[in-house]
Structure 1
Amino acid sequence: MKIVLAPDSYKGSLTAARVCSIIERAMKEELPDADIVSIPMADGGEGTVDAIVRAASGRIIEMTVSGPLGLPIQTCFGDISQNSERCAIIEVASLFGLPMLAQEARDPLNTTSRGLGDAIRVVLDMGYRRLYIGLGGSSTNDGGMGMLSALGARFYSGSGEELRGFGRDLAALNHIDLSGLDPRLAECTLIAASDVTNPLLGPQGATHVYGPQKGADSETVEMLDEAMGKYADLLESAMRIQKRDSSGAGAAGGIGFALMSIGAQIRPGAEVVGMLCGLDEHIQASDWVLTGEGSSDGQTLYGKLPIYVARRASAAGKPTLLLSGSLGDNWQSLLPYFTGCISTVTRPSSLEESLLQAERNLDIASRNAARLLFKAQSFPK
């Protein structure tokens, strides 16, 4: 029996790699003859670089960039080979991710996406021309102004002051000069991996939907959304494009919009990671596929990683088990996509207790799943 493990992280408790390790160890004890292939997955957020590098036998390279508040930080990017071409894998979660800031320091007026522009320049200097950028988990809401500024664009206030691209600079913006934008961008293939489809502006846009979790109060949300509209007017006019309403333009506080303005493609995060990890090939050779996440509910249907894995498995005619930390509201809507849905939490417990017991609970659930698979293979198909 060949089993493919392709889970997302259990956010707040276990990385995708750790989830795979626990499930594989537990299943091996129950099914010692099973061939188990672990493919830790991600959807463009935290863990994207690690997942792709691990699956593609790549390497991690250290770099220094601007952090969420504009100060230098040490971080990394991934290096892999795809069809004999060197590819750089970057994730914004490791540059200016929301968890990098204490709760009291979260304020989208004071954060910047400059770190992504810094990272792009680092990899361009090293000769990369194919870049994959994971957009999940950012702390910023600057429309990508910081990123573009670090790449050579110039933004000015009405008084002529040059703006560096923090969220607060959107309201002061009066003029854009793109003449200094790094010309090497025209030589690049830029693919952005995102798990959101929001436009840039309005009630479903970057600021209204994600601004509050990044520290914006209602007054700041209204101000930033209005300022983002003026920024979009200037950038679209300068670039002769119209991208504000495109799916994913609102990803990462509007970085999706800025990336599209310099030629990037926005693609579903799970799809990008799955492709780079060779997920389809592994599924095709499997008997069972197992995926999961920290909590599964009706929202999992809307582009979450387990549904992507289940659909790929279904296309290959393979059954899929969902093994998640918990099953929430309307989880029954997932049943058409999975042979079974299993929660690792088996008794009433607080969130804190569940997080502390995450490894133990996952081990027990994995053993139960292994026993079910053992019995399933005994029945005629």
Structure 2
Amino acid sequence: MSGLAVVVAPDSFKGSAGAAAVAAALARGWRSARPDDVLTELPLADGGEGTLDALEAALPGCVRHHLEVPGPDGRPVGASWIVLPDGTAVAELASASGLGLLSEPLPYDAHTRGLGRVLAAALDAGATRLVVGLGGSASTDGGAGVLVELGARLLDSLGEPVRDGAHGLVEAARIDLTGLRPLPEGGVVAWTDVTAPLFGATGAAAVFGPQKGAGPDDVLALDRSLRAFADLVDVDPGTPGAGAAGGTGFGLLVWGASLVSGAAAVSEAVGLDRLVAGADLVVTGEGRFDAQTAGGKLVSWVASSARAHEVPVALVAGQVQAGTEGFVDVVSTSDLAGGAAASQAEPERWLEAAGARLAEQAGRGDAGDRAAR
């Protein structure tokens, strides 16, 4: 069997390799085993890290702007935003206020002022519509930092500005929105990778706080901070996605933004359905395939698109920690490398090996036969 049309559409392997590098490595491995197949590399993102890169790779004509902003710990970091061919400005929280910008987690002090500075710059440049990719945040500040940079004032009982980060949410007695910048004419849409509410058992602190250095007592304290912040405004904290990016989804709701699935939005923007419809096989992947994947993560969206077009879909993941029903093939780079540490130390090597493994199994008639049907 020869001449399969294969779409390689992975997310990033967070902490190891960006989506473009993942797609390229998988494609190299596949071509080493089946050089006659036609591969389309389509690196993707769901609003988190790599969103700007994925859009730039798929949409010729994007223009990137660079600036320096305060990172999640206040130190200056380089951030960027892009303008799509249709004029929409797109910002990405991870590049301005992301966890990867910290040398160590700061569960109480990290903030989102950097993202707010990026949004303000896009507005100053004349953006008439804004898209904000949420994901990979360092903070649990409810998006307060974003609002402050856009002109809001979070004040204590004496009328003084509160500290940045979650600490300030507890200190705040009121929020003054009179100076908040108006939404651009075309509105603001936030792309989220989760449907979590702001607080509670499935909220921002409980689910994502531990990833940001919060212990059990810290999670409780952060949750109380978010509840206190929600009491200051007339916005529903239970809105799906309000808990995205440490509650930044909620802060953007306060501004007047709408929240949508990042995986769905990015997939639509880059034409995923069109490419999948013409494929014999789709290969997707992420660093850790677990129970959260089904809750709006990119891999679940790619798989759903493939199945809707009756195209088989294969999975590559660093670690597989959930059931993989519905995939015609599954390869773990940790299994190939003999452990997660080895896989993460040389991600592209083991991604190439994974691509070759999938191609070999297709050549033996496993996934390949199913792809031909």
TM-score if structure 2 supplies the norm length? 0.91
Q: CA distance change for structure 1 residues 32 and 349 in 2, over 3 Å: closer, same or farther?
A: closer
Q: Confirm or deny: 8 A CA contact 1:53 1:79 kept in the other structure.
A: no
1:127 aligns to what SS in structure 2? coil
Instruction: Answer yes or no: is 1:256 the counterpart of 2:249.
Output: yes
Match of 2:171 in 1: 172
Q: How far is the alpha carbon of 1:299 from its aligned partner?
A: 4.4
Q: How far is the alpha carbon of 1:357 from its aligned partner?
A: 3.8
> Which residue identity is paired with 1:54?
A
Identify the range of structure 1 (302-311 vs 215-224) with the bigger mean alpha-carbon deviation.
215-224
Superimposed CA distance per residue, residues 217-275 of structure 1 (whole angstroms, 9 cap, x where no aligned partner): 44443333223223212121xxxxx3211111111111111111222221222112211
Q: CA distance change for structure 1 residues 210 and 368 in 2, over 3 Å: closer, same or farther?
A: closer
Matches within 5 A, 1:237-248: 242-248=235-241
Q: CA distance change for structure 1 residues 227 and 366 in 2, over 3 Å: closer, same or farther?
A: closer
Q: How far is the alpha carbon of 1:349 from its aligned partner?
A: 2.6
Q: How far is the alpha carbon of 1:41 from its aligned partner?
A: 1.1
Match of 1:365 in 2: 354
Q: CA distance change for structure 1 residues 350 and 229 in 2, over 3 Å: closer, same or farther?
A: same
Q: Confirm or deny: 8 A CA contact 1:108 1:142 kept in the other structure.
A: no
The alignment-based identity, stated in percent, is: 39
Q: Distance in 2 between matches of 1:311 and 1:288?
A: 13
Gaps of 5+ in 1: 237-241
Match of 1:351 in 2: 340
Match of 2:98 in 1: 97
Superimposed CA distance per residue, residues 280-319 of structure 1 (whole angstroms, 9 cap, x where no aligned partner): 1111122211111223245433333222111101111211
Q: Distance in 2 between matches of 1:117 and 1:173?
A: 19
Q: Distance in 2 between matches of 1:100 and 1:137?
A: 10
Instruction: Answer yes or no: is 1:221 the counterpart of 2:214.
Output: no
Q: Distance in 1 between matches of 2:207 and 2:115?
A: 22
> Which residue identity is paired with 1:45?
G
Match of 1:149 in 2: 148
Match of 1:303 in 2: 296
Which of the residues 2, 14, 17 maps onto 1:11?
A: 14
Q: Confirm or deny: 8 A CA contact 1:24 1:36 kept in the other structure.
A: yes
Match of 1:273 in 2: 266
Instruction: Answer yes or no: is 1:334 the counterpart of 2:324.
Output: yes
Q: How far is the alpha carbon of 1:209 from its aligned partner?
A: 2.4
Q: CA distance change for structure 1 residues 144 and 327 in 2, over 3 Å: closer, same or farther?
A: closer
Match of 2:278 in 1: 285
Superimposed CA distance per residue, residues 131-169 of structure 1 (whole angstroms, 9 cap, x where no aligned partner): 221111111111111111110112211112123643211
TM-score if structure 1 supplies the norm length? 0.89
> Which residue identity is paired with 1:364?
A
Q: Confirm or deny: 8 A CA contact 1:59 1:80 kept in the other structure.
A: yes
Q: CA distance change for structure 1 residues 378 and 113 in 2, over 3 Å: closer, same or farther?
A: closer
Gaps of 5+ in 2: none
What's the Cα RMSD here?
2.2
Q: Confirm or deny: 8 A CA contact 2:109 2:167 kept in the other structure.
A: yes
Q: Distance in 1 between matches of 2:170 and 2:291?
A: 38
Identify the range of structure 1 (266-275 vs 66-75) with the bigger mean alpha-carbon deviation.
66-75
Instruction: Answer yes or no: is 1:32 the counterpart of 2:35.
Output: yes
Q: How far is the alpha carbon of 1:348 from its aligned partner?
A: 7.3
Q: How far is the alpha carbon of 1:97 from its aligned partner?
A: 0.9
> Which residue identity is paired with 1:213?
Q
Match of 1:51 in 2: 54
Match of 1:193 in 2: 191
Instruction: Answer yes or no: is 1:112 the counterpart of 2:115.
Output: no
Superimposed CA distance per residue, residues 303-355 of structure 1 (whole angstroms, 9 cap, x where no aligned partner): 33222111101111211111223333x4xx322x2122222344573322222
Q: Confirm or deny: 8 A CA contact 1:170 1:224 kept in the other structure.
A: no
Q: Distance in 2 between matches of 1:163 and 1:150?
A: 13
Q: Distance in 2 between matches of 1:282 and 1:348?
A: 31
Which of the residues 314, 317, 328 maps onto 2:310?
A: 317
1:359 aligns to what SS in structure 2? helix
Q: Distance in 2 between matches of 1:378 and 1:314?
A: 16
2:155 aligns to what SS in structure 1? strand
What is the number of equivalent residue pairs in this alignment? Answer: 366
Superimposed CA distance per residue, residues 109-145 of structure 1 (whole angstroms, 9 cap, x where no aligned partner): 2222111211111111112122221111111111111
